[in-house]
Structure 1
Amino acid sequence: MNRACWIVALLAWLSASTAWAVEVHDVRLWRAPDHTRVVFDLTGPAEHKVIMLDNPRRLVVDIPNIQLKTSLDSLPLENTPIQQIRSGIREKTDLRVVFDLSEEITPRSFSLRANQQAGDRLVLDLYDQAPAKATTQAPTVHKSVADRGKREIIVAIDAGHGGEDPGALGPNRLREKDVVLSIAKELEKLLASDSGFKPTMVRTGDYYVSLKGRRDIARKRQADLFVSIHADAFTRPSANGASVYALSTQGATSTAARYLAQRENAADLVGGVRLSDKDDVLASVLADLSMTSTLDTSLKLGGQVLSRMSGVARLHKPGVEQAGFAVLKSPDIPSILIETGFISNPNDASRLNTRSYQQRMAQAIHAGIRDWFAAHPPAGTLLAWQKMQGEQQYIIARGDTLSGIAERFNVPLSKLKNANGLSGTRITIGQTLTIPTS
């Protein structure tokens, strides 16, 4: 090959190399209650254009100067409006991806630049136009509540992370998003079985909800309490133990609290939230919090939950900590964030990965919530009515004794035993006691 031919070949190779400089190295799909999310993982930034077509109904995504290096055949399309996904090359270098649709959708797309948590991505959200089908059966309304016309206490249970955001990773690829969803579902079962309580899950499956979106869901459902459940990681594997956090408007109470808040607040960078989804009213929210009793209630309620958790796990700190967690910034709903353990600690991770620990942790959180609302029931609720009638209930937790419960509620031991038909002092974890009037 002469010199001129060699130069022409080199230029052609360089041109082709430049044209394929960016690649799609993975495509992922998740189904949420109201939309389907498709994420294209890229090796660099890329422009894109979305086109809706009819007869037949389909969505076209054009991405110039990019090469598809993964298969689209194994994506989970069941229960989505997508019938089929096809791809092809236009103008020699432009990728076209076609989504054949079975239902009408409203598309939304945006690009995310690479950050410390994830690489460049193209996010495509297909929002349902028809009302979403219920993914879980709504908790049964207890007959006593309906008969007496007293409302239930609504607890919004938020399992952290989800979808493309796995949260912290533990040994053997143990994922925070899976662990905390299991604990959240256990807590939901316990509260659903309680007279006077109505749990509602912020996310019911493996999909991502933005931090602001989680607060909005709780507010839309008129929650009396927001509980966010996590199992985070720390820079040192030796860090261990469970914690409860409330919002801080002035700074974190410890280095660990500050670090964990920064990690959790960065979740939107991984989960995929465009700039317009960010909360624009942070200052007003913090001002509202400083003027209401919401934060004070969060701290005190968190203390009750932490006390119960001490019977299940070693505590990382003896009291409720505070930091600027974005997910807790609801001005009108008491909100706490629970770290059920450090998934980065081998011993904590081993426990977090067991059903028994997940159940015991859920039982402790449940008991702490019950403790608080039994003593401070919101007006108009069944628990408030029961308290006025002298009725209170208490769920036995690990470490409880009958004499200690009698002392806590300022009730004679003999009266407590008579009210519950007890001949001795033997009690079991999870048992419900009726607390008579003192």
Structure 2
Amino acid sequence: MPRPPQIRTKPLIGGALTRRTVLKAGGTLLLSVFAPLPAAAAQILAVRVWPAADYTRVTLENDSNLKATHFTVPDPERLVVDIEGLELNPTLKGLVAKIQSGDPYIKQVRVGQNRPNVVRLVFDLKEPIRPQVFALAPVGEYKHRLIFDLYPVKPVDPIAQMIEKGEWSRPGAPAGTPAPPALPPTAPEAAVLAARPEPKPEPRTAEIAKADPKPPAQASVARLITIAIDPGHGGEDPGAVGSRGTLEKDIVLAIAKRLKAKIEQQPNMRVMLTRDGDYFVPLGVRVEKARQVQADLFVSLHADAFIKPSARGSSVFVLSEKGASSTAARWLADKENLADAIGGINIKVRDQQLAGVLLDLSTTAQINDSLKLGKAVLSEIGGIARLHKSHVEHAGFAVLKAPDIPSILIETAFISNPEEEAKLRDNGYQDQIASAVMKGIKHYFARNPPLAKGRSS
């Protein structure tokens, strides 16, 4: 049997290839692979500024986790931030031009290389602020983010804010107090205006289906009804995005403003928006704002999305005590409840912000009243739009968990459906949706007039 051919190696130049030579070469290769390389500076990918009366947010999106230290300096007021592991680049320099003259808290910002690998930002302020500086891990479409939230030393009070805008008035207010224009009441509204407070504190509404109220010739408003309108998402959180680039946060804010104008035309109603601009509001803060103004109703506006573009139709949701009414409802609630993670909430203060919200104490009475409101609104929306489900659905949406306010969440349409996206972009359709919600609210109160509140309203 022939022997297999011998494999011979060619000698290296100047000598034979030995075992020692191979080991030396391998060691050199390993050293070259594992030798420490100079650390590359982080790269700023985008800068964004979200000014609002509540607070101004500055976001630096970057390719790695950044560490920052900060301090404030008085006379004049400044916020100084030092960011480690960073070299100045054109994107970061662009922050200077992002500051708007109408920003409530920032006059201007200066950006410079303070020392090697450390960039310093100096915010010149219009008033003393209470800063929160924190980092966010990648989520959704975002990479790492470094967040600067500039809050006023004295938090904005929703009622004081509405008084300043002339949006908060009450019966018997001094002459000259701004008030919404009064319109002649319809027959259902006359029943609301004629209703008088009842002594029972719970539930917050009472059935009057069996009553036959006879309003006086000149009905007077027992008290103003306060409605909280909650445009979903905002700021860092765009919500769902349509195929044409339509952002849910923009659509629902536009519809909310139309609904607000219609509510202000009612002689017995006033309204508060949880956000009136493009900025992020945590879910718990939205609920707390409604409770601060002692809202009689909470209506959260959204534009649905699904993985299949064929999904379509409007929906109305109320809180569930026992779980979601469908798999799709559970999926949607989980998605909407991610708003805090995407919008960017400071974990260190989250529990403090939610302390007064009592999210786990929602009552059966609140859910029952929410269901009545939801049915009234869904019936009106069904008159102008296709419904995704013909009944009110249940799911665990965080913004519906105020224990003492009937609350609904409206998915106005599927922004992921090209046909419905086109409708949502149309001013006329937005107005139709707002009108339908307004009619549903009026029908609800015609059957469930509000009771007296614990303190002056």
TM-score w.r.t. the length of structure 2 is 0.75
1:118 CA drift (Å)? 2.5
| 3-state SS, counterpart of residue 171 of structure 1 | coil
Establish whether residue 249 from structure 1 lines up as the match of residue 321 from structure 2.
yes
Shift of the 23–186 alpha-carbon distance from structure 1 to 2, 3 Å rule, reads same
CA distance in 2, matches of 1:123, 1:311: 44
Tell me the distance in 1 between the aligned counterparts of 2:111 and 2:98.
13
Give the structure with higher Rg (CA).
Answer: 2
Q: Distance in 2 between matches of 1:43 and 1:94?
A: 16
2:231 maps to which residue? 159
Deviation at 1:298, TM superposition (A): 0.6
Q: CA deviation at 1:323?
A: 0.8
Are 1:300 and 2:372 counterparts?
A: yes
Distance 1:282 1:240 in 2: 37
Contact 2:288–2:357 (8 Å) recurs in 1 = no
Matched, 1:76 2:76: no
Structure 1 pair 226/284, CA: closer, same or farther in 2 (3 Å)?
Answer: closer
Superposition pairs for residues 144-155 of structure 1, below 5 Å?
A: 148=220, 150-155=222-227
Q: Among the aligned pairs, what percent are the same residue?
A: 43
- For 1:117 and 1:252, the matched residues in 2 are separated by 27
Alpha-carbon contact 1:167-1:232 (below 8 Å) kept: no
Matches within 5 A, 1:209-228: 209-228=281-300
List aligned pairs for 1:33-182, cutoff 5 A: 33-69=53-89, 70=91, 71-80=94-103, 81-129=105-153, 136-138=165-167, 140=179, 148=220, 150-182=222-254
Aligned partners of 1:201, 1:303: CA distance in 2, in Å?
Answer: 22
The amino acid that maps onto 1:77 is Q
The offset of 1:284, in angstroms, is 6.2
Deviation string, structure 1 residues 338-374 (Cα, Å, up to 9, x no partner): 0000100001100000000000000000001100101
Instruction: Determine if contact 2:106/2:126 at 8 Å carries over to the other structure.
Output: yes
Q: CA deviation at 1:74?
A: 2.2
Q: Which amino acid aligns with 1:48?
A: A
Alignment of 1:388-407 (within 5 A): none
In the alignment, structure 1 residue 323 sits paired with structure 2 residue 347: no
Change (3 A) 1:377 1:40: same
The 8 Å contact of residues 118 and 269 in structure 1, kept in 2 or not, is answered as no
SS at 1:41's partner residue? strand
Change in CA separation of 1:325 and 1:369 when aligned onto 2, cut-off 3 Å: same
Q: What secondary structure, in the 3-state scheme, does the structure 1 residue paired with 2:311 have? A: coil
After superposition, give the CA deviation of every residue in 1:99-122 in whole Å (9 maximum; x if it has no partner). 122322221111111123522111
Q: Are 1:238 and 1:345, in contact at CA under 8 Å, matched by a contact in 2?
A: yes
Note the residue ranges of structure 2 that are not aligned, 5 or more in a row.
1-32, 169-178, 184-192, 194-218
Q: Structure 1's 121 and 224: CA in aligned 2 closer, same or farther, altered over 3 A?
A: same
Q: SS where residue 127 of structure 1 aligns?
A: strand
Q: CA deviation at 1:19?
A: 4.0
> Which residue among 266, 274, 277 is the counterpart of 2:350?
277
Q: Deviation digits for residues 60-106 of structure 1, max 9, x if unmatched?
A: 11111123440223203222222221111233111111112232222
Uncovered stretches (5+) of structure 1, i.e. residues with no partner: 1-9, 382-438
Offset at 1:209? 0.6
SS for the counterpart of 1:340 is: strand
In structure 2, do the counterparts of structure 1 residues 182 and 342 end up closer, same or farther at CA, with 3 Å as the change threshold? Answer: same
- CA shift for structure 1 position 128: 2.1
1:171–1:137 distance in 2 versus 1, CA, 3 Å? farther
Q: Any conservation in 1 of the 2:333–2:395 contact (CA below 8 Å)? A: yes
Q: What displacement does 1:274 show?
A: 1.5
Q: Structure 1 CA distance, aligned partners of 2:313 and 2:79?
A: 48
AA matched with 2:281: V
Q: Residues of 1 paired with 2:73 and 2:424: CA distance?
A: 48
Alignment of 1:259-408 (within 5 A): 259-275=331-347, 276-278=349-351, 285-286=359-360, 288-290=361-363, 292-380=364-452
Asked if structure 2 preserves the Cα contact closer than 8 Å seen for 1:19 and 1:93, the reply is no
1:227 is aligned with what amino acid? V
Contact 1:245 1:302 in 2 (8 A): yes
What is the rounded CA distance, in whole Å, between the counterparts of 1:101 and 1:256 in structure 2?
Answer: 46
Q: Does the CA contact (< 8 Å) of 1:142 and 1:196 recur in 2?
A: no
Instruction: Assess if the C-alpha contact under 8 Å between 2:226 and 2:296 holds in 1.
Output: yes
Q: Say what the alpha-carbon RMSD is for the aligned residues.
A: 2.7
The offset of 1:186, in angstroms, is 0.8
Q: Distance in 2 between matches of 1:11 and 1:50?
A: 36
Partner amino acid, structure 1, of 2:240? A
Which residue of 2 is the match for residue 183 of structure 1?
255
Deviations 1:358-409 (A, max 9, x none): 000000000011001011101249xxxxxxxxxxxxxxxxxxxxxxxxxxxx
Cα offset for 1:237? 0.8
TM-superposed CA distance for 1:264, in Å, is 0.7
2:49 counterpart (11, 29, 43)? 29
